[in-house]
Amino acid sequence: MQKRTLGKSNLQVSALGLGCMGMSFSYGAPKDKQEMIALIRCAVDRGVTFFDTAEVYGPYTNEDLVGEALEPVRDKVVIATKFGFELRADGKPGWQGLNSRPEHIKQAIEGSLKRLRTDVIDLYYQHRVDPEVPIEDVAGAVKDLIAAGKVKHFGLSEAGVQTIRRAHAVLPLAALQNEYSLWWRKPEEEVIPALEELGIGLVPYSPLGKGFLTGKIDENTKLGSDDFRSTLPRFQPEAMKANQALVDLLQAIARSKNATPAQVALAWLLAQKQWIAPIPGTTKLARLEENLGAAAVELTPGDLSEIETAAAKITVQGNRYPEQLEQMTGR
């Protein structure tokens, strides 16, 4: 597995990481813990060194899972987790709101360290920008945690350009985690140019469009009520039918490369910038191996131009989130 460095930080990760959220949160019922531990360790065996979780995934159970799985190889991997939600007092899934007050961050890190069975978090993201707390205060709190040896690198998720600049001025950011893929390209407008200017890495989540770009989901797919995609405008049948054109494009390129649509979608991301490290998630070994195979798919300048020309003719239908969740991005 190739390695990449996130921006101007010295944080080196595998070109493809593993997003662990779906193992215990959002995509239906939590999966069997021992099976997921085995899957994470298989990823390590195949050269993955970059693992993503968050305290809100579960809540807490995903960090527990990742911590147990990676404890035997802790010195060989990079663990990223996130803070910034006020979790429900009853421990059930969901949150009561955002909370990035410095005292809350310093409380949250202790729980994450314990669950992840480590004494330091490699990459600590603010999960969503809290409009009630100046980003300078957030960066200052993480700076204190770095000074205390509890965090190595600072990141933001779904932040707007002005917030990125203000945070970076207080404490250099190693990475921004944002949704980015062939069906969500808004980061190209302002965010990616700013990251390039400042020397900040990009970690795309949902690089396969929450599964849609794999070609395994279409308008006839019935998503369960416990699958959060069932609430997303982009996953309603009429939107999926319209968006099939993007999958058709990926399938056409994939046939010429002896690859799969998922591999082409990931290879396209890897070809955009050397400081981009996507984190596709999965709960299946076959899908993990398929995704990691994307690192060997070479897209030529001609291929990229062909994808660009064809994609420009496709207008993706449907918002990516309901309004309440969309309002929490780009701040």
Closest by CA position to 10, among listed 172, 171, 174, 126: 174
Q: How far apart are CA 149 and CA 169, in angstroms?
A: 21
Closest by CA position to 208, among listed 287, 271, 275: 287
Q: How far apart are CA 43 and CA 36, in angstroms?
A: 11
Asked if 6 and 14 count as a contact pair (C-beta separation under 8 A), the reply is no
User: Tokens at residue 40, please?
Assistant: 């994470």
Please count the CA atoms within 13 angstroms of the CA of 265 that sit on its side-chain side. Answer: 32
Give bridge partners of residue 155 from the DSSP assignment.
Answer: 125, 175
Q: How far apart are CA 276 and CA 187, in angstroms?
A: 12
Q: How far apart are CA 202 and CA 45, in angstroms?
A: 24
Asked if 198 and 171 count as a contact pair (C-beta separation under 8 A), the reply is no
Q: What one-character DSSP code corresponds to residue 281?
A: B
User: Tokens at residue 318, please?
Assistant: 């449907």
Please, what's the b/e burial string for 183-218 (b: 16 or more CB within 10 A of its CB; e: otherwise)?
bbeebeeebbebbeebebbbbbbbbbbbbbbbbebe
Catalytic residues: 57
